[in-house]
Amino acid sequence: MSQRRLIMIAAAAAATLAFSQIACAEEAAAPAAADSAALYERQCGICHDAGGFGTVMLERRVGAERSVLAQRNDLPPAYVRHVVRNGLRDMPPLTRVELPDADLEAIAQYLQRARQ
Protein backbone atom coordinates (compact mmCIF):
# COMPACT_ATOMS: atom_id res chain seq x y z
CA MET A 1 0.00 0.00 0.00
CA SER A 2 1.43 3.35 -0.95
CA GLN A 3 2.16 5.91 1.71
CA ARG A 4 -0.17 8.36 0.01
CA ARG A 5 -3.04 5.87 0.21
CA LEU A 6 -2.34 5.25 3.90
CA ILE A 7 -2.46 8.97 4.61
CA MET A 8 -5.79 9.23 2.83
CA ILE A 9 -7.25 6.36 4.86
CA ALA A 10 -6.00 7.95 8.09
CA ALA A 11 -7.51 11.29 7.09
CA ALA A 12 -10.85 9.66 6.28
CA ALA A 13 -10.83 7.85 9.64
CA ALA A 14 -10.04 11.07 11.49
CA ALA A 15 -12.84 12.90 9.67
CA THR A 16 -15.32 10.14 10.54
CA LEU A 17 -14.29 10.25 14.18
CA ALA A 18 -14.59 14.04 14.34
CA PHE A 19 -18.01 13.89 12.70
CA SER A 20 -19.33 11.29 15.14
CA GLN A 21 -18.07 13.38 18.05
CA ILE A 22 -19.91 16.42 16.73
CA ALA A 23 -23.07 14.32 16.31
CA CYS A 24 -22.80 13.12 19.94
CA ALA A 25 -22.29 16.65 21.26
CA GLU A 26 -25.38 17.84 19.40
CA GLU A 27 -27.46 15.03 20.84
CA ALA A 28 -26.33 15.82 24.39
CA ALA A 29 -27.08 19.52 23.96
CA ALA A 30 -30.68 19.03 22.85
CA PRO A 31 -32.65 17.76 25.88
CA ALA A 32 -35.39 20.31 25.22
CA ALA A 33 -36.26 18.39 22.08
CA ALA A 34 -37.25 15.42 24.23
CA ASP A 35 -40.95 15.14 24.83
CA SER A 36 -41.46 16.35 28.41
CA ALA A 37 -44.22 13.84 29.13
CA ALA A 38 -41.89 10.99 28.15
CA LEU A 39 -39.15 12.58 30.25
CA TYR A 40 -41.48 12.70 33.23
CA GLU A 41 -42.46 9.06 32.69
CA ARG A 42 -38.86 7.96 32.55
CA GLN A 43 -37.56 9.96 35.52
CA CYS A 44 -40.54 10.16 37.87
CA GLY A 45 -43.14 7.68 36.63
CA ILE A 46 -41.60 4.69 38.34
CA CYS A 47 -42.53 6.23 41.72
CA HIS A 48 -45.28 8.65 40.75
CA ASP A 49 -47.56 6.64 38.47
CA ALA A 50 -50.56 4.91 40.04
CA GLY A 51 -49.37 2.26 42.49
CA GLY A 52 -45.83 3.69 42.67
CA PHE A 53 -43.95 4.31 45.90
CA GLY A 54 -44.35 8.10 45.68
CA THR A 55 -48.07 7.79 44.92
CA VAL A 56 -48.61 5.48 47.90
CA MET A 57 -46.71 7.82 50.25
CA LEU A 58 -48.53 10.90 48.94
CA GLU A 59 -51.87 9.15 49.29
CA ARG A 60 -51.19 8.87 53.01
CA ARG A 61 -49.93 12.42 53.34
CA VAL A 62 -52.07 14.54 51.01
CA GLY A 63 -54.95 12.19 50.11
CA ALA A 64 -55.83 9.93 47.18
CA GLU A 65 -57.14 12.73 44.98
CA ARG A 66 -53.73 14.47 45.04
CA SER A 67 -51.54 11.38 45.05
CA VAL A 68 -50.79 11.11 41.29
CA LEU A 69 -48.54 14.08 40.42
CA ALA A 70 -49.36 14.16 36.71
CA GLN A 71 -53.04 14.67 37.52
CA ARG A 72 -52.47 17.65 39.81
CA ASN A 73 -52.55 21.32 38.98
CA ASP A 74 -51.27 22.71 42.28
CA LEU A 75 -47.55 22.16 41.77
CA PRO A 76 -45.65 25.39 41.01
CA PRO A 77 -42.39 24.80 39.07
CA ALA A 78 -40.33 26.31 41.91
CA TYR A 79 -41.75 23.74 44.35
CA VAL A 80 -41.12 20.86 41.95
CA ARG A 81 -37.52 22.04 41.40
CA HIS A 82 -36.99 22.33 45.16
CA VAL A 83 -38.36 18.87 45.96
CA VAL A 84 -36.40 17.20 43.13
CA ARG A 85 -33.07 18.82 44.06
CA ASN A 86 -33.46 18.51 47.83
CA GLY A 87 -35.64 15.44 48.27
CA LEU A 88 -38.65 15.34 50.56
CA ARG A 89 -39.01 12.84 53.38
CA ASP A 90 -39.03 9.49 51.53
CA MET A 91 -38.18 10.97 48.14
CA PRO A 92 -34.44 10.97 47.44
CA PRO A 93 -32.97 14.09 45.75
CA LEU A 94 -31.90 13.83 42.10
CA THR A 95 -28.52 15.33 41.17
CA ARG A 96 -27.75 17.32 38.01
CA VAL A 97 -25.99 14.22 36.69
CA GLU A 98 -29.09 12.08 37.13
CA LEU A 99 -31.38 14.82 35.86
CA PRO A 100 -29.87 17.85 34.05
CA ASP A 101 -31.38 21.30 34.79
CA ALA A 102 -32.96 21.53 31.34
CA ASP A 103 -34.76 18.22 31.85
CA LEU A 104 -35.94 19.25 35.32
CA GLU A 105 -37.26 22.49 33.86
CA ALA A 106 -39.17 20.58 31.15
CA ILE A 107 -40.68 18.30 33.81
CA ALA A 108 -41.60 21.22 36.09
CA GLN A 109 -43.36 22.97 33.18
CA TYR A 110 -45.09 19.73 32.24
CA LEU A 111 -46.43 19.29 35.80
CA GLN A 112 -47.62 22.87 35.95
CA ARG A 113 -49.80 22.41 32.90
CA ALA A 114 -53.26 22.18 34.40
CA ARG A 115 -55.00 18.86 33.90
CA GLN A 116 -58.59 19.91 34.46
CA-CA distance, 8 to 109, in Å (whole number)? 50
Residues in contact with ligand HEC by CB under 6 A are 43-44, 46-48, 53-54, 57-58, 61-62, 69, 75, 80, 83-84, 88-92, 94, 99, 107
DSSP 8-state code for residue 68:
S
Taking the complex as a whole, the smallest distance from the CB of residue 15 to ligand HEC amounts, in Å, to: 39
Taking the complex as a whole, the smallest distance from the CB of residue 14 to ligand HEC amounts, in Å, to: 40
Of 27 and 74, which has the nearer Cβ to ligand HEC? 74
Of 61 and 113, which has the nearer Cβ to ligand HEC? 61
8 Å CB contact between 63 and 106:
no
CA-CA distance, 54 to 76, in Å (whole number)? 18
Of 10 and 78, which has the nearer Cβ to ligand HEC? 78
Round to the nearest angstrom and report the end-to-end CA distance of the chain.
71
Of 83 and 102, which has the nearer Cβ to ligand HEC? 83
8 Å CB contact between 43 and 103:
yes
